[in-house]
C-alpha cells in the first residue's frame, strides 16, 4: 500500500468516525442529579449524587459535565473533579470515560458552609470522538434546589435579657381564660358571673353549676428581623456577618417558641429568594419550625423598606395581645417610635440587639 493511499484511507476513517459521533454521541444518554436531603442546617454535610447512563453500543471516549453552583457549598476533593470559584458562583466540572451500556453513579460530599436557597438549574454535557474532530454539547434542565437552614444557637448563647422573656412566653398561653372554650362545668363560687350559669347542669345536679372555661392556647409571636445596619443605611447591607448572626438569633427564638406551641410570624424588611418580587417578608402564623427556618434560608439581605416604616404598617393593622421581638443592629428614633405605637395598643415589645463583632448586646 502506497503512502498516499494509506494517508487517504486513514483520513477517510477519521472522518467516518467523526461523522458517527457527530450524529450519535449524545443519543440515548441520560443524566440526573439530586441531593441526599432537601434541607440541612448550615455546617452540615449533604451528598450530591450524579447518575449518567449511556444506553447504546457507541462508547464515549471522553465526557465533560459542567454546571454552575452558587458559593456556599464546599465540595470535597475527588478524582476527575475540577472546581473554579468566582465572586458569586463556582464552576463544577467532571471529566470521565463512558463505556457502552454503562450506568455511572458518582457521589460528591458537600459541606454547606452558608445558609441559603441553592438552585441548580442546568448541567451541560459535552462529548466527541477520541481525536477531537467532533464535539457535541447538550444542556440538561435540572430544576434542583437545596435549602440550607441557618445554624441554631444554644439557648444560653442568646443575649441574657431574652432568656427570661422567652421563658415567660409559654406560661402566658395558660393564664387567660378563653370565653369561647368550655371544658365542662363546676360548682358556682363567689364572683362568678350569672351569665356563666349552666342551667341544665344546675337542674340535673340540684346545685348551682357554671361553665368551666378552658385556657387559651393562642399565643402570638412576631419576630421582626431588621436587615439594616443603621437607620441611615440604604439598600446594600455592609456588614453581612452581623445580619447573619441576627438571622441565627431569629432561627433559635422561632425554634424555641414553635416547639412550645406558639404560632410565630416573620416580619422582615429583607426579601425572599425564589419569589421574583421585591416585597418585604410578612408570613402567616407558622406552627412548624422547618417552615419558619425555610423562610430564613431564603431570606435575601436586600433591604426593601426602612424597618420603621414596615413596623408603622404593622401598627396600623395590629389588634393587640401580640408579642413582638425586634432583632436589630440599631434603635433609631423612628424605629423606637413605631415600636412604642405597637406597645401603646396593648402589645408586648422586646428588643434583641445584634452586637458588633467582639461586642456585647445591650
d(Cα 83, Cα 74) in Å, to the nearest integer? 10
Task: Report the pLDDT value the prediction gives residue 167, as an integer from 0 to 100.
Answer: 74
Query: What would the pLDDT profile of 153-199 be if each residue is shown by its tens digit?
Result: 988 888 877 767 787 777 665 544 444 445 566 676 766 666 667 77
Question: Which pLDDT tens digit goes with each residue over 82-139?
Answer: 555 555 567 888 888 999 999 999 888 999 999 999 988 889 999 988 877 888 899 9
Element (H, E) at 292: helix 289-297
pLDDT above 70: residue 35? yes
Binned at pLDDT 50, 70 and 90, residue 27 comes out as very high
**Spatial distance between the Cα atoms of 72 and 148, rounded to a whole number of angstroms:** 10
**Listed residue (335, 331, 281) closest to 307, CA to CA:** 335
Enter the DSSP assignment of 224: E
Whether 155-174+217-353 and 18-149 are alike in CATH topology: the answer is no
Residue 4 has pLDDT above 90, yes or no: no
Residues 53-63 have pLDDT tens digits of: 999 999 999 99
The answer to whether 41 and 85 are in contact (CB under 8 A) is no
How many Å is the maximal CA-CA distance in the chain?
A: 125
Model pLDDT, residue 360 = 42
204 or 361, which is more confident: 204
Q: Which CATH class for the 18-149 domain?
A: mainly beta
pLDDT at res. 232: 82
- What's the burial of 238, exposed, middle or buried (CB within 10 Å: 0-12/13-18/19+)? exposed
In angstroms, rounded to a whole number, what is the distance separating the alpha carbons of residues 233 and 299? 18
65 vs 326: CA distance, rounded Å: 46
Q: Determine contact, residues 55/29, Cβ cutoff 8 Å.
A: yes
- How far, in Å, CA of 258 to CA of 250, rounded? 12
**Burial classification of residue 335, based on how many CB atoms lie within 10 Å of its CB (0-12 exposed, 13-18 middle, 19 or more buried):** buried
Note the pLDDT tens digit of each residue in 197-253.
777 777 777 777 776 654 444 568 999 999 999 988 877 788 999 999 999 999 999
Q: Where are the domains of the chain?
A: 18-149, 155-174+217-353, 182-215
pLDDT at residue 359 is higher than 60: no
Which helix H or strand E contains 308, and what residues bound it? helix 307-317
* CATH for 155-174+217-353, options being 3.40.50.410, 3.40.50.300, 3.30.470.10, 3.50.30.50: 3.40.50.410
Residue 45 has pLDDT above 50, yes or no: yes
E-only strand ranges, the chain? 29-35, 39-41, 45-54, 60-70, 73-75, 81-85, 89-98, 102-112, 116-128, 135-149, 177-187, 209-215, 220-225, 263-268, 271-272, 281-282, 299-300, 323-328, 348-353
Instruction: Grade residue 51 by pLDDT with cuts at 50, 70 and 90.
Output: very high
As a whole number of angstroms, the distance between CA 322 and CA 129 comes to: 68
* pLDDT value at 9 more than 90: no
- Rg (alpha carbons) of the chain, rounded to whole number: 31
Q: Poorest-confidence range of 139-143, 148-152, 179-183?
A: 179-183
Give the CA angle between residues 148, 151, 154 to the nearest 5°: 160
Q: Which 3 state secondary structure label does DSSP give 272?
A: strand
- Residue 292 pLDDT greater than 90, yes or no: yes
Please give the Cα distance from 18 to 128 (Å, whole number): 8
- The reported pLDDT for the residue numbered 352 is 95
Q: What is the pLDDT of residue 113?
A: 93
Average pLDDT for the chain? 84
Q: What percent of the chain has pLDDT over 90?
A: 49
Amino acid at each position: 500500500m502506497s503512502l498516499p493511499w494509506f494517508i487517504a484511507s486513514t483520513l477517510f476513517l477519521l472522518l467516518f468516525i467523526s461523522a458517527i459521533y457527530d450524529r450519535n454521541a449524545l443519543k440515548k444518554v441520560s443524566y440526573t442529579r439530586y441531593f441526599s436531603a432537601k434541607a440541612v442546617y448550615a455546617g452540615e454535610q449533604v451528598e450530591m449524587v450524579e447518575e449518567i447512563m449511556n444506553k447504546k453500543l457507541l462508547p464515549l471516549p471522553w465526557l465533560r459535565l459542567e454546571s454552575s453552583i452558587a458559593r456556599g457549598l464546599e465540595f470535597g476533593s475527588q478524582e476527575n473533579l475540577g472546581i473554579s470559584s468566582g465572586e458569586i458562583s463556582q464552576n463544577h466540572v467532571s471529566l470521565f470515560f463512558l463505556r457502552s451500556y454503562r450506568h455511572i453513579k458518582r457521589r460528591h460530599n458537600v459541606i454547606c458552609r452558608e445558609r441559603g436557597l441553592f438552585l441548580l438549574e442546568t448541567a451541560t454535557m459535552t462529548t466527541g470522538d477520541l481525536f477531537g474532530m467532533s464535539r457535541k454539547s447538550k444542556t440538561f434542565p435540572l430544576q434542583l434546589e437545596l435549602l440550607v437552614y441557618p445554624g441554631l444557637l444554644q439557648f444560653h448563647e442568646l443575649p441574657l435579657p431574652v432568656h427570661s422573656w422567652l421563658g415567660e412566653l409559654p406560661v402566658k398561653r395558660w393564664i387567660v381564660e378563653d370565653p369561647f372554650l368550655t371544658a365542662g362545668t363546676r360548682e358556682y363560687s363567689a364572683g362568678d358571673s350569672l351569665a356563666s350559669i349552666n342551667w341544665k347542669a344546675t337542674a340535673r345536679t340540684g346545685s348551682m353549676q357554671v361553665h368551666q372555661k378552658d385556657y387559651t392556647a393562642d399565643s402570638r409571636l412576631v419576630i421582626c428581623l431588621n436587615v439594616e445596619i443603621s437607620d441611615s443605611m440604604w439598600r446594600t447591607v455592609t456588614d453581612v456577618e452581623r445580619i447573619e448572626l441576627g438571622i441565627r438569633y431569629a432561627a433559635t427564638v422561632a425554634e424555641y417558641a414553635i416547639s412550645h406551641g406558639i404560632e410565630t410570624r416573620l416580619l422582615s424588611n429583607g426579601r425572599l429568594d425564589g419569589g421574583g418580587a421585591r416585597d418585604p417578608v410578612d408570613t402567616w402564623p407558622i406552627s412548624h419550625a422547618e417552615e419558619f427556618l425555610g423562610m430564613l434560608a431564603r431570606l435575601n439581605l436586600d433591604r426593601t423598606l426602612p424597618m420603621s416604616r414596615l413596623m408603622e404598617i404593622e401598627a396600623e393593622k395590629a389588634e393587640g395581645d401580640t408579642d413582638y421581638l425586634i432583632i436589630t443592629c440599631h434603635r433609631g428614633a423612628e424605629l423606637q417610635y413605631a415600636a412604642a405605637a405597637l406597645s401603646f395598643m396593648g402589645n408586648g415589645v422586646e428588643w434583641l440587639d445584634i452586637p458588633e463583632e467582639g461586642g456585647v448586646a445591650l
